[in-house]
Structures are given as structure tokens and as C-alpha cells.
Amino acid sequence: MQNKFLDRYGRAVLKGFTSTRSIKSNANSELLEYSSRSKNSLMKKFYQDIEDFETGKFLYPEKPVVGYFCSLVPEELILACNLHPVRLCCEENLWTQAGEEIIPGDVCPVVKSICGKFYNQMYDRFDLVVVPGSCDPKTKLAELLSPLKEVYFLDPGRDCDYLKNADIWGEKYTKFFDFLKERFHCSSGRKHLLSACKKTNARTEIFRKIYQFRTRNPEAINSFDYYIMIYASFFMDIEIWNNLAENVYREALETREICKNPKILLAGTPVIFPNFKIIDVIEQAGLSLAADIQCTTFGRFYNPVEIDEDTESGIIRALSLKDIAGSICPCLLNLEKLVNLIVDAVSQHNLDGVIYYNLRLCQVFDIQTAVIRQALKEKDIPFISIKTDLGNQDTGQLKTRLEAFREMIESRRN
């Protein structure tokens, strides 16, 4: 007689959970609001695509779709196997509430909302989900999702020292690549990897242009448009995105608006659609978000893949350097790197202050706050840390704090 707790392979059965709530995302109304503020006519396509993605109407290319989290998962390997990579990071309050049923308690809201989305059949189209072991909630997420989807767990380790770990990363990425090739029956090699890297390098180039342009003129592509473009890159086909972003950049080049607001740098937790509360508050407080150091934007796009050895293992090694060694994820050992990056960006782009955004319950970001505050105090750079959750209750209070911050910056100027 078959044991009801075991499956036919003798493994314990993880049944998973079913959510009882029916969720209706209010992403559409938010999209409308943001797109009305856009100064760029070409942004419409991005807004349209995001609306389709949020409502499940998005047309994926005719190939298997692989979902992944974090910048630590090498997108190029997925692309090289002729698969469609989709980054699934999600910060929506409604889905967090749905996820609350599955994982109640003081857990990272990002993981909650991801769980909420998965258990409400939002991601049925996906063939595989790649979860990196970057932080503790993500590690457990791999187990929570495994009853629903096939999950590949990719653990790069927490030490991003090149000398000690470069070989280990290469091995781990190679195993992942081998798994992909076997799972999807493709025989990808050096050529496919090279062409995938070419695509992402083109994206890096465009991103750098936009990033650099925004540090001079943050109003021409406003921060909503910027983050919408970033979010669209999560799921759009990379070449289409490159074309559109290039056009948006060209159009923005023609506008000649001079930014009078104090320019600030946003560091900390990634800002992902539709959680644009922090950007909204920054804008309302009369500050301009001119640069950012976050894993969805800077950390993901800024470094190109530098292929030195164009053999298969050489390319995979180059990818691991880009994704892990160059990573700014707070879960890895890189606090010094982050402080250097912030100080350098502030001095290079003549920024007026730094806002450190901290999503409640993400402890790794929280722990870093004190060190960054101390380092920036020594350099005499205005700094404010903001800790908030996905809800909208504290908007007024945040606005008051940021207005005070702006006044402080302006008084320093005079």
C-alpha cells in the first residue's frame, strides 16, 4: 500500500498551499498615473507592455520561459540556450497580503509577494524557476516554490573575493549551464554564449548612456520612466528593449531642461514596480533622483561582460565575475565597495545628498545603514536613511522628513 505522505519515488510530498483570496491588481491605475507624468512620447510601449505583463496578457516569444530572481543569476546562460529569461522580483503590496496567508509573520515582503503571485497562478507559463541562494528568505523561497514549479537552486556563496572564489563560481555556473542544456535539450556552446553576451553588452551600453545622461539632467527622463524601463527589461525581449530604450534616450537628448532641484542619489533596496512610493515622495519633496545604486539598475546593468578567453569556460567565468564579483548585493561581502561607489558617484556627478532606502524586514540592508552613515559623515555628505514598508500609510511622514532634508541641503548650498 502506498504511503500517502510519500510520492512514488519515496520522497516526502510537499503539497504547497492554495490561496483563497481573489486578487485584483491595481497596477493599471498606477500605470495610468505614472504615464501621465511622462515627458517622453516613446515610453508608451513600455507602459503598455507592463500593463500586459501585470494582467497576464503579455505575449512571450515562442520558446520556453525561465523565471529567475536576483542579479546573481546569469541571464546570458539562459539566453544562450534559446530560452526567454524573466526576472520575477516583485514588490506589490496586494500580493504581499496574498502571500501573508502562506508565510505569515515577520518575513521579507518581497518573498511574500512572490509567493502570493506564484500561489495565485500568475506564473503558470513558466517552465523553470531559478532561485539563487543570495539571502536567507530567497533560499527558503526555493523550497516554498518547489511544489509548484521546477526549481533550480543556484548558490554562488557569500564571499565575492575574486582570488578565493573565481574557480568555484565558474564551476557553479557551468553546472547550471549544463543543467539548462540537458533540461531543454539544446546543444548551446561558445557561439550562442558570445551572441548572448553581445546582446547584454549592447544593453549595458544603452543603460550607461541613460544613467550618465540622467546624472546631468534627471528631469528629461523622469525617475518613473526610468524605473518603468528597468522593470520592462525584466521580461521584455532584450533586443526589443534595446531598440526602444535607445529611441527614448535619443528623444530625451533633445530636451533642454535644467534641473534646479537638489540632485540626490538613491541607494539601498531595489525599487520595483509598482512600489514607487519612495520615488513619488522624493519628487513631491522637491528633490531630483539623479543617480542610484541598486541591484536592479546599477548592479545589473552597469558592468559589461568582458570576455577575455573566448572559450566556453572562459565566457562562463567572465559572466561569474560580472554577476558575483561585481555584485553590490548586501548579502555578499562588499560594504567597502558600496561606500566607495556612493562617495565616488556623489563627487563625480556633483550630487547634493544620499538617500538610503530600506525596505522593512530586509535586515542586510538595515545593518549596512550605520556604516554608510558614518562613512558619509566623515566625508561631509548629507545622508538620510528611510525605512518603510510596502504600504502607503507613512507617505505624509516621509514627505515631511524629505522636505526637511531638502531644506538642509539648500541651507548648506547658501
Partner 1 sequence: MKKITMTRRIVQVFCLILLVYGGYIFKEWKQSPETEQSLFPALKAPAGSISITKLEKGSILWPSGATPVIENYPPSLVCRFNPKGGMFKACILHFFSENLTWQTQLKYLLPYITLFILLCFLLGRMWCGWVCPIGTTGDFLTFLRRKMNIPVKRFPHNFRINLSFTGYGLMAIALTISTIIGMPNFARYQCYWFLPYCQICPARLICPLFGLIRPNWKDFSTSITTTFTLLAWIVLGLFIAAFYFGRRVWCHMCPVGLINSWFNKGAGVELHKKPIKCIKCGYCADACPMGLTKMYEMDKDGIYNQNSCIMCLRCVEVCPRKGCLSVKFFGKGIRIKDFFRRKNAE
Nearer to partner 1, 344 or 407 (CB): 344
Give yes or no for residue 374 binding partner 1 (CB under 8 A): no
- Is 148 a binder of partner 1 (CB under 8 A)? no
- The verdict on 181 binding partner 1 (CB under 8 A) reads no
Shortest separation between residue 318's beta carbon and partner 1, angstroms:
7
- 297 lines the binding site for partner 1 (CB under 8 A): no
Q: Is 334 in the site for partner 1 (CB under 8 A)?
A: yes
CA pair distance 342, 172, nearest whole angstrom: 30
Q: Is 403 in the site for partner 1 (CB under 8 A)?
A: no
Q: Which three three-digit cell numbers place residue 412?
A: 548648506
Kindly report the backbone phi and psi dihedral angles of residue 291, in degrees, each rounded to the nearest multiple of 5, phi listed first: -145, 160
Asked if 304 interacts with partner 1 (CB under 8 A), we say yes
User: With binding defined as CB under 8 A, does residue 337 bind partner 1?
Assistant: yes
Residue 390 — φ and ψ, nearest 5°? -80, -10
| 27/186 with CB nearer partner 1 | 186
Q: Are 122 and 55 in contact (CB under 8 A)?
A: no
247 Rama sector, left if φ>0, alpha if ψ -120 to 50, beta otherwise: alpha
Q: Count of CB atoms within 10 A of residue 365's CB?
A: 24
**Which residues sit opposite 264 in a β-bridge?**
289, 353
Can residue 302 be called a binding residue for partner 1 (CB under 8 A)? yes
Written as nine digits, the cell of 291 is 543617480
Q: How far is the CB of 216 from partner 1 (least distance, A)?
A: 12
Using alpha carbons, select from 235, 237, 230, 214 the residue that is nearest to residue 273.
230
Distance CA 69, CA 84 (A): 14
Q: Which is nearer to partner 1, 33 or 336 (CB)?
A: 336
For β-strands 128-132 and 151-154, DSSP reports them as parallel
In whole angstroms, how close is the CB of 290 to partner 1 at the nearest point?
A: 16
* Residue 220: closest CA among 187, 249, 177, 192: 249
**190 binding partner 1? (CB under 8 A):** yes
158 vs 360, which CB is nearer to partner 1? 158
Under the criterion CB under 8 A, does residue 329 sit at the interface with partner 1?
A: no
Tell which residue, 224, 68, 86, 70, has the closest CA to residue 134.
70
Site for partner 1 in 204-223 (CB under 8 A): 205, 208-209, 212
Q: Kindly state whether residue 178 participates in binding partner 1, applying the rule CB under 8 A.
A: no
* Out of 341, 351, 375, 376, the residue judged to bind partner 1 by CB under 8 A: 341
**By C-alpha distance, which of 169, 189, 170 is closest to 181?**
189
Q: What are the residues binding partner 1 (CB under 8 A)?
A: 160-163, 166, 189-190, 205, 208-209, 212, 302-304, 306, 308-314, 317-318, 321-322, 325-326, 328, 334, 337, 340-341, 343-344
